[in-house]
Amino acid sequence: MHLVMFDIDGTLIESCDFDTDCFSEAVKTVTGVELNTDWDSYDNITDAGILDEFVTRHSLGEQREIIHKQVRQRFVELVSTHIALSPVHEIDGAVDFFQRLQTRTDIEVAIATGGWEETARMKLQSAGFDISGLAFASSSDAIQRATIMKTGESRCNHKAFDSKTYFGDGIWDKRACESLSYNFILVGKNFDYHKQVDNFKNMQQTMSYIGL
């Protein structure tokens, strides 16, 4: 049995730009402070991780819990409004590839995203993905990406895998995979990597990177 796990934003769907805009607006609305969107400057590039570090940097620790709650609520509202006006697009070929993996008896598909659960599910549904019954973990479960991935794996139907592969678009995804001994496949061209796909149209090439 092989585990194939996916990030969401920039990996399965084209959402990074509007997601950043909505997140920044939510933070500014709640706190009155501009959010630094240079993600490389943060230790944990997840919704909860970025917000938590933002709170610390701006000495807002006494309001940490309420800020997390209010920013998350506002972010969900903004993403919902955006999606209603402009549905989310898949990365080319992603829905078909995802569905084909789900039909295989030797593969278990899972989701582990740095986004919060509400918005993650909302965006996937808008783009046409059916994730019912799949193991799912998000920034609602943990701040660290590697912990999110481990949580997703723990929720899988199978508890032992011959291989574990993760599709992601960020250098932080690659680092998490290295720490967990996952096979990493880069979607897009955010950095140079030997296992890279622009999209999911070439199924044969993508499956070969998984090792199948």
Structure confidence by residue, pLDDT tens digits, 160-178 = 999 999 999 999 999 999 9
Flag whether pLDDT at 150 surpasses 90.
yes
pTM (2 decimals)?
A: 0.96
Quote the strand ranges of the chain, DSSP E: 2-6, 13-14, 89-90, 107-112, 135-137, 163-168, 183-187, 196-197
**Angstrom distance (rounded) from CA 67 to CA 91:** 32
- Residue among 206, 187, 203 at smallest CA distance from 11: 187
- For the stretch 88-140, pLDDT in tens is 999 999 999 999 999 999 999 999 999 999 999 999 999 999 999 999 999 99
Give Cβ neighbours of residue 78 (< 8 Å, ≥ 6 apart): 22, 25, 26
Above pLDDT 90, what percent of the chain?
97
- Per-residue tokens: 112: 């582990």
Of the candidates 76, 112, 89, 84, the one whose C-alpha atom is nearest the C-alpha of residue 13 is: 89
CB 99 within 8 A of CB 130: yes
Neighbours of 58 (CB within 10 A): 14
DSSP alpha helix (H) spans, 61-144: 64-85, 94-103, 117-127
Q: What is the mean pLDDT of residues 10-35?
A: 95
Tell me the chain's radius of gyration from C-alpha atoms: 17
pLDDT band at 144 (very low <50, low <70, confident <90, very high): very high
Give the residue among 28, 38, 33, 12 at the shortest CA–CA distance from 112: 12
pLDDT at 49: 97
Tell me, what's the pLDDT at 108? 98
Q: In this prediction, what percent of the chain has a pLDDT beyond 70?
A: 100
The pLDDT assigned to 202 comes to 95
Output the pLDDT for position 113: 98
pLDDT at 16 over 90: no
pLDDT in tens, 49-91: 999 999 999 999 999 999 999 999 999 999 999 999 999 999 9
Mean pLDDT of all residues belonging to the chain: 96
Positive or negative: CA dihedral 105, 205, 12, 2: positive
